[in-house]
Structure 1
Amino acid sequence: MQKPSIPKGTRDFSPEEVRKRNYIVQKIQEAFQRYGFQPIETPSFERTETLMGKYGEEGDRLIFRILDAGDFLKEVPQEIFQEQNSQKMVSYISGKALRYDLTVPFARYVVQHQNEITFPFKRYQIQPVWRADRPQKGRYREFYQCDADVVGANGLWQEVEFVQLYDTVFSSLSLKGVTVKMNHRKILSGFAQMIEAPEKLVDFTVALDKLDKIGKEKVEEEMLQRGISAEAIAKIQPVFALKGSFQEKIIQLKELLSNSPIGLEGVADLEFIYQTVQELGLHTATLELDVTLARGLNYYTGTIFEVAPPKEVALGSIGGGGRYDELTEIFGLRGMSGIGISFGLDRIYLVMSQMDLFPQFLEGGLEILCVNFGNQEALEAFKLVQQLRAKGYKAELYPESTKLKKQLAYADSRQVKYVILIGEEELSQGKAVLKNMQTGVQETYPIGQVQEMISL
């Protein structure tokens, strides 16, 4: 019989892992609520037309399609069926797809419920998403996103707030050395104007976004493959050479984009955000201007964010987002600004594990175990368990009468802090033994006083 397994790119989580993940989610959720965001949830799958065409050519290929129910092949025209071309056939047999991210479903939500929403609308959403990507460390086919978005708010103060939100969350997790990288879609448009190929903006940005992954030479090769001329690539060389602090890069960009009004608009936006954040201050995060940052997505129209983990951790981004003022327009709602960021729960978990940042004892584990010595003793112990639970303690009775050594081993494995023993002798005397599993000290008390002696 074949051993059961799970699909590649998915994972099971142990109780300890779930507690650690919940710890991260709790910190993120607390920050979201403190900043005034409201929770929503959307379905795990959407209509295919809702998702397709929103993530660029590469993103569309990573969308998981869902087969229609019933005899779906009946809908396929005979000539296409005989051709056996899956790309042509898919639109006939699949009308739904698993969500690729939480942003596009949110845009759909806003348009669909626009008459029920008070704008500006600040929402947060913590749910799983799916991508048919090649699994590797820190990259999964099923993973959670923790998103915060605002629609109906123009101006750059929301960008400033999102930088502060990133800083607040990572400070609360004691995660130091995080870098919030920033760029602007208008700066990228300015670069496309520099090379006199504005129609190649998407091709240019998709390739440029891979600079830190595949290097300058490979990026130039991809640009050539995407139809960007060698002359144009030569003109863009100063972009690869940008160095210095955030403010120093701003000065260089002003000169580089001096003939591009749209590019200078992007530079001005980033300068305002940077100077304002500097005035307000950050606890742990640092800001960096990264002109190669594009994130490869079609829907960004303004500021782009990406969060890099501390340099000692070899892992990809742990967050990202940006402004997408035209996203709701594709669903029929014009003139609605939007901006959002996301926290990568799974990668944050990996970073915190590698840096040993989780508290030693996390809320949620078993605190008190009552040993089972037989039915009469267990009944009295169960009454005590009920009282402890009513007081808010996490307590349980071992489910069967078995060797004491086995029950104490179970308590150790669950990291129980106290064990209560009510044996035949204790029962006859109306007493209980309270054992502190951390110190090994045990004392005998009247059963009614045991609760008072517990200190958690």
Structure 2
Amino acid sequence: MQKPSIPKGTRDFSPVEMAKRNYIFDTIKDVYKLYGFSQIETPAMENLSTLMGKYGDEGDKLLFKILNSGDFLSDISEQDMAERNPLKMASKICEKGLRYDLTVPFARYVVMHQNEISFPFKRFQIQPVWRADRPQKGRYREFYQCDADIVGSDSLLNEVELIQIIDEVFKRFGIRVAIKLNNRKILSGIAEIIGEPEKIVDITVAIDKLDKIGLQKVNEELLSKGISEEAVSMLQPIILLEGENDAKLETLRSTLATSEVGLQGVEELDFILNKIKLADITTQLDLDLTLARGLNYYTGAIIEVKALDVQIGSITGGGRYDNLTGIFGLPNISGVGISFGADRIFDVLNQLDLYPKSQGQSTQILFVNFGSKEEDYIFPLVSQIRKAGIAVEIYPDSGAKMKKQMSYANNKNIPYVAIVGDNEIENNLISVKNMISGEQSQLSLEECIKAIAYSE
């Protein structure tokens, strides 16, 4: 019989791992709430018409599409079959797809619920997304995103606030990170001054890969997209620009002097960086002109976060997307957002061993079960202990060997074991064993609750 398996790029999570994941989600959720964000959820699947064309050609290829119910081949002709065009076929046999991110479904949500929403609308959303990507270290086909977005406000204070949120979250995790900043308007200005304004998407998709494939490969990709050698040559000093943020901005002001849109991007970044200086953030903040994030919908600031002590891809990203809701018939609604990559953060915290030591432990005390009489004595005690907010279990199989019951406690990292026999019942006591120190003492119910609560 074939052993069961799961699809590549997906993972099972054990109780210990789930405790760690919930630590991540709860930490991010707490910080979002501190900044006034409210939570929503959207369906796992969306209409393909909602998703297609929002992520560029590369993104469209990575959408998981869901076959129509029933005879999904009914609209497919012999000619369609002969052509073997996957995207064309998909449009006829699939009406729905799994969401690729949380931002496009959020834009759809805003349009559908615009009459119920108070703008500016600050929402956060923690749900899984799916991408038909090639699985590799730090990249999964199913993974969680933890998004925060503000729509209905074009104030750059929103970008400043999102950077503060990033700083606070990673401070709480104890992960050293660098926040990288850019602006799509600067990238548009660069495309303009090198004489290739219509190639902005090709340019940004290529230079976004600089740290992955190197400068030579980026240049080869640019040339293959029909960008002239002269334009590629002009691009070199810009994408390799080094120095302090203020110095980079000054260089860009002179380089982009003839580009109105480029200068606007420079001023936006200047505003954000100056306001951040007034906030109490300790995270390294770098202006990085190679940062493009390869997505068509960013129109202003672009944000990406890299861990400094672990080799892994971006662990948080986001930016400004002024025209996203316009695609769904609601123009002039500006939005900006970030997304924490929970699965990559999970891996970083594991590698750096930064989880709180109590994360894998849920049950705090286990009652050994000797039989029916002992069960009847234990049940009311357990109810009182739970009312005190302490997680407690009774071993379910009465009369199981003591060694088996103690092994259960050890395997679950339960710190206390309660033993109740005739003597304890007679004296209205509980024998409590500390599984770490090995000490054992007879306590009243109240003393037992205090001892466990005090040890947390």
* TM interval, short-chain normalised: over 0.9
Q: Could you give the per-residue CA deviations for residues 382-431 of structure 1, whole angstroms, max 9, x where no partner exists?
A: 22212211221100100112111221111111111211100233334433
Q: Does 1:355 align with 2:352?
A: yes
Q: How many angstroms apart in 1 are the aligned matches of 2:447 and 2:259?
A: 78
CA RMSD of aligned residues (A): 1.4
Q: Could you give the per-residue CA deviations for residues 88-146 of structure 1, whole angstroms, max 9, x where no partner exists?
A: 22111100000000000000000111111111100000000000001111100000000
Asked if structure 2 preserves the Cα contact closer than 8 Å seen for 1:146 and 1:344, the reply is yes
Return the offset for 1:29. Answer: 0.3
Deviates more, 1:423-432 or 1:37-46: 423-432
Q: TM-score, normalised by structure 2?
A: 0.97
Q: Does 1:416 align with 2:414?
A: yes
Q: Matched residue of 1:236: which SS?
A: helix
Q: How many angstroms apart in 1 are the aligned matches of 2:393 and 2:404?
A: 15
Q: How many angstroms apart in 1 are the aligned matches of 2:57 and 2:364?
A: 51
Aligned to 1:382: 379
Return the offset for 1:239. Answer: 1.0
Return the offset for 1:81. Answer: 3.4
Aligned to 1:10: 10
Asked if structure 2 preserves the Cα contact closer than 8 Å seen for 1:153 and 1:338, the reply is yes
Q: TM-score, normalised by structure 1?
A: 0.97
Asked if structure 1 preserves the Cα contact closer than 8 Å seen for 2:181 and 2:304, the reply is yes
Q: Matched residue of 2:298: which SS?
A: coil
What are the within-5 Å matches in structure 2 for residues 392-407 of structure 1? 392-400=389-397, 401-407=399-405
Q: Does 1:300 align with 2:316?
A: no
Deviates more, 1:87-96 or 1:334-343: 87-96
Return the offset for 1:302. Answer: 0.3
C-alpha spacing 1:313/1:446, structure 2 compared with 1 (3 Å) = closer
Aligned to 1:344: 341
Aligned to 1:287: 285
Aligned to 2:269: 270
Q: Matched residue of 1:73: which SS?
A: coil
**What letter matches 1:301 in structure 2?**
T
C-alpha spacing 1:451/1:280, structure 2 compared with 1 (3 Å) = closer
Q: How many angstroms apart in 1 are the aligned matches of 2:444 and 2:180?
A: 61
Aligned to 2:184: 185
C-alpha spacing 1:449/1:295, structure 2 compared with 1 (3 Å) = closer
**What letter matches 1:206 in structure 2?**
V
Q: Matched residue of 1:243: which SS?
A: coil
Return the offset for 1:440. Answer: 1.4
Q: How many angstroms apart in 2 are the aligned matches of 1:40 and 1:449?
A: 43
Q: Could you give the per-residue CA deviations for residues 363-399 of structure 1, whole angstroms, max 9, x where no partner exists?
A: 8611010001111112212222122112211001001
Which of 429, 438, 442 pairs up with 2:440?
Answer: 442
**What letter matches 1:102 in structure 2?**
L
Q: How many angstroms apart in 2 are the aligned matches of 1:151 and 1:450?
A: 51
Aligned to 2:164: 164
Q: How many angstroms apart in 1 are the aligned matches of 2:85 and 2:317?
A: 36
Q: How many angstroms apart in 1 are the aligned matches of 2:324 and 2:445?
A: 64
Return the offset for 1:346. Answer: 0.7
| Identical amino acids, percent of aligned pairs | 54
Asked if structure 1 preserves the Cα contact closer than 8 Å seen for 2:66 and 2:95, the reply is yes
Which of 310, 318, 328 pairs up with 2:315?
Answer: 318
Q: Could you give the per-residue CA deviations for residues 247-301 of structure 1, whole angstroms, max 9, x where no partner exists?
A: 1111111121122121111111111111110122303x11100001000000000
C-alpha spacing 1:123/1:105, structure 2 compared with 1 (3 Å) = same
Aligned to 2:325: 328
Q: How many angstroms apart in 1 are the aligned matches of 2:296 and 2:142?
A: 22
Return the offset for 1:452. Answer: 4.1
**What letter matches 2:448 in structure 1?**
V
Q: How many angstroms apart in 2 are the aligned matches of 1:446 and 1:280?
A: 52
C-alpha spacing 1:52/1:234, structure 2 compared with 1 (3 Å) = same
Asked if structure 2 preserves the Cα contact closer than 8 Å seen for 1:194 and 1:236, the reply is no
Q: Matched residue of 1:124: which SS?
A: strand
Q: How many angstroms apart in 2 are the aligned matches of 1:68 and 1:116?
A: 32
**What letter matches 2:11 in structure 1?**
R
Q: Matched residue of 1:54: which SS?
A: coil
Which of 430, 433, 440 pairs up with 1:432?
Answer: 430
Q: Does 1:57 align with 2:54?
A: no
Q: How many angstroms apart in 2 are the aligned matches of 1:82 and 1:197?
A: 38
Q: Matched residue of 1:276: which SS?
A: helix
Q: Could you give the per-residue CA deviations for residues 55-111 of structure 1, whole angstroms, max 9, x where no partner exists?
A: 111111100000000111112234323544433221111000000000000000001
Return the offset for 1:26. Answer: 0.6
Can you give the 5+ residue segments of structure 2 that lack an aligned partner in the other structure? none
Aligned to 1:196: 195
C-alpha spacing 1:221/1:439, structure 2 compared with 1 (3 Å) = same
Q: How many angstroms apart in 2 are the aligned matches of 1:426 and 1:281?
A: 57
After TM superposition, which residue ranges in structure 1, 4 or more long, deviate above 6 angstroms? Answer: none
C-alpha spacing 1:173/1:195, structure 2 compared with 1 (3 Å) = same
C-alpha spacing 1:449/1:341, structure 2 compared with 1 (3 Å) = closer
Return the offset for 1:356. Answer: 1.2
Q: How many angstroms apart in 2 are the aligned matches of 1:40 and 1:383?
A: 40
**What letter matches 1:298 in structure 2?**
N
Aligned to 1:100: 100
Asked if structure 2 preserves the Cα contact closer than 8 Å seen for 1:54 and 1:298, the reply is yes
C-alpha spacing 1:275/1:166, structure 2 compared with 1 (3 Å) = same
Q: How many angstroms apart in 2 are the aligned matches of 1:94 and 1:240?
A: 41
Q: Does 1:213 align with 2:226?
A: no
Return the offset for 1:447. Answer: 5.1
Aligned to 2:226: 227
C-alpha spacing 1:295/1:287, structure 2 compared with 1 (3 Å) = same
Can you give the 5+ residue segments of structure 1 that lack an aligned partner in the other structure? none
In the comparison of the two structures, how many residue pairs are matched?
453
